[in-house]
Structure 1
């Protein structure tokens, strides 16, 4: 019988995000928007609105609509010599389903998997539940949470089937530079290892510019066929409620194998979700939507940085440069706080909600909390105000 560990992040969110009056800075999506908000972002008034009421609600295209897959293929074909074929994309009910399908299809009891850590628990515990041996490629604060390829060399085995990364990273907000990604691809190609990149927070980069030499490209653009990426409309695109994600790879055999497994879990995604995602990724909407979220991330990251600078005697971080999350260490009298009880006390006394890292990402992160800072700016301001009162009273 498959043994699956409790999903601590999701259990914590489920328990506390319904707290009356909660100031939720645990959420990892860029502040969510409505269909009306999305339509207001459209720069062309002649573009038909999403959610046509005349559409017959059949299952719809099994692998996702052609229009949606074409728009995603276009995103992953920018600045590369060989465009990504539309047929090399599968649409799924969120990135969580995309990741699960990759593992369910490709990983088994005789395999060894290497996964960056800390990261989303699904990425290492699902392979483990399928019988694989899992080694954690640990990210270190002193290296700004960028994975070290020398450490990877110590972890690889003859039966290593897959290396898993998350870029930008949850919970640290760190991004893996282009040079490291290129080194990883070279390493994997020499050993015929599949690389999965969970890019659910891409392209929400707020501390690094596309003109920077080490700006991280999508892994699927680096020329190695045995790369797989997963993505979603939830995080960078503010549309978690439509439950739409995808899988892309340049290896058609990988895509076909996953599509075969997918038949047992998902006939198709909702046509309504597909329509909204297609609209959001249209040229008339996409740039305004991403512009809104990148600016929100920059504004809010600056607010969080000021808070940490103000209370530098008791808290510290590695400033994130991508995604929506930050890993922040709190201490009292020079010792890390008991982060689980700290989070409970904070929400009970201030209504401010964030996650205890030791519970959700492992004991290496005792004293740390994960903060999701790309919420509405006013929510973050009020949360940091209340948190400051708590810090002054209990930690100073």
Structure 2
């Protein structure tokens, strides 16, 4: 029987996010929007509704509708000399399904996987559950939580099948720049290693240092055996659609994923497909991304002011992208017991964050750290920080 490790962050979220009155600053999606709000964002007020109520609800196009696949393909064209064809996109039920299908199709006993760490637990737990050996590629705060590509030489093995990165990174909010991506690609290409880039928080590169450009997708860097996954949940504020994608320039990889998906979901909901196509259309997408980028900048400034004010008890590497931050809290100079801390916090203040050592660490890694999702509605973040400030004054200072 396959051994599946408990998905800790999801279990912690399930346990507490429905607590009555909870102030949820653990959520990692940009504050969700409704279909009505999408319609308001559309530049063409005469455009058809996002939903066709007369369309028969068959399985629809098995790999995703042509309009949606074209919209997703267009997302990868930023800084790309070669546009990605729509046929190189497979629509899935969320990025979580895209990632799972990729591992299920390509990784098994006898394979070795290198995965950045910390990251979303799925990215290293699933290949391990399938019998692969996984080596964690540890990010370092002193390096801005950016992967050190020079370390790959010591991590690689003769049987390394895949390198897994996450850009922007969850939970740190760091950005892996193009220069580092190029080194990773060159390393993998010389050895025929597949690269999976989970780009579910792209393109929310909202707070890069002055003069720094947002990195391109891994698919734009001239190596066929690269794979990118994403979804409507995080950067596009539509988690309720449960719609994502996997894209690659390697048709054999896509065929393997499509074949595996025949045993799972077959296709996605036509309703989800229609709404996603509308949201990613050229008449809606610019307004949607502008709204989410401005929200991220506004809220990160609020969170940064809090961390600066209470630097005696909390510290971080300030995020440059995405929606999450990893913050360490201390009491009398000692890192707090973060699982106990977040339970006490939610019980006393209703503020919900996630424990870093439990959900993103192994052993003593990330002791005292919490992951906070700051791209919620601004009033929710303000309320959460106000309650957290009171807690800090009473229990940590």
Distance 1:213 1:328, change over 3 A: closer
Using the TM superposition, give the Cα deviation of residue 78 of structure 1 relative to its aligned residue in structure 2, in angstroms.
Answer: 3.2
1:395 aligns with 2:396: yes
1:294 aligns with 2:293: yes
Q: 1:107-126, aligned counterparts within 5 Å?
A: 107-126=107-126
Using the TM superposition, give the Cα deviation of residue 298 of structure 1 relative to its aligned residue in structure 2, in angstroms.
Answer: 0.2
125-134 or 34-43, which deviates more: 34-43
Match of 2:56 in 1: 56
Q: Is the 8 A contact 1:25 1:354 kept in 2?
A: yes
Q: Is the 8 A contact 1:162 1:196 kept in 2?
A: yes
Match of 2:98 in 1: 98
Cα deviation per residue 1:221-268 (whole Å; 9 max; x = unaligned)? Answer: 111000000000000000000000000001111111111111111211
2-structure distance, mates of 1:393, 1:151: 43
1-structure distance, mates of 2:238, 2:160: 35
Using the TM superposition, give the Cα deviation of residue 47 of structure 1 relative to its aligned residue in structure 2, in angstroms.
Answer: 1.3
Cα deviation per residue 1:307-343 (whole Å; 9 max; x = unaligned)? Answer: 0011010000100011000000000111100101000
Runs of 4+ in structure 1 off by over 6 angstroms are: none
Q: Is the 8 A contact 2:78 2:216 kept in 1?
A: no
1-structure distance, mates of 2:141, 2:283: 40
Match of 2:344 in 1: 345
Match of 1:359 in 2: 358
1-structure distance, mates of 2:279, 2:202: 15
Using the TM superposition, give the Cα deviation of residue 95 of structure 1 relative to its aligned residue in structure 2, in angstroms.
Answer: 0.3
Instruction: Find the residue that maps to 1:313 and give its secondary structure.
Output: coil
1-structure distance, mates of 2:171, 2:323: 9
Instruction: Find the residue that maps to 1:364 and give its secondary structure.
Output: coil
Using the TM superposition, give the Cα deviation of residue 46 of structure 1 relative to its aligned residue in structure 2, in angstroms.
Answer: 1.8
Using the TM superposition, give the Cα deviation of residue 371 of structure 1 relative to its aligned residue in structure 2, in angstroms.
Answer: 0.2
Q: 1:29-178, aligned counterparts within 5 Å?
A: 29-178=29-178
Using the TM superposition, give the Cα deviation of residue 81 of structure 1 relative to its aligned residue in structure 2, in angstroms.
Answer: 2.0
Gaps of 5+ in 2: none
What's the TM-score, normalizing by structure 2?
0.98
Gaps of 5+ in 1: none
Match of 2:387 in 1: 386
Match of 1:312 in 2: 311
Match of 1:207 in 2: 207
2-structure distance, mates of 1:148, 1:80: 24
Q: Is the 8 A contact 1:179 1:214 kept in 2?
A: no
1-structure distance, mates of 2:79, 2:312: 45
Cα deviation per residue 1:254-300 (whole Å; 9 max; x = unaligned)? Answer: 11111111111121100000000000001110000000000000000
1-structure distance, mates of 2:178, 2:75: 18
Instruction: Find the residue that maps to 2:190 and give its secondary structure.
Output: helix
Instruction: Find the residue that maps to 1:204 and give its secondary structure.
Output: coil
Using the TM superposition, give the Cα deviation of residue 151 of structure 1 relative to its aligned residue in structure 2, in angstroms.
Answer: 1.7
Using the TM superposition, give the Cα deviation of residue 212 of structure 1 relative to its aligned residue in structure 2, in angstroms.
Answer: 4.1
2-structure distance, mates of 1:344, 1:70: 45
Match of 1:257 in 2: 256
Instruction: Find the residue that maps to 1:370 and give its secondary structure.
Output: strand
1-structure distance, mates of 2:102, 2:272: 22
What's the TM-score, normalizing by structure 1?
0.98
2-structure distance, mates of 1:215, 1:274: 28
1-structure distance, mates of 2:35, 2:121: 31
Cα deviation per residue 1:3-36 (whole Å; 9 max; x = unaligned)? Answer: 0100000000000001100000000000001111
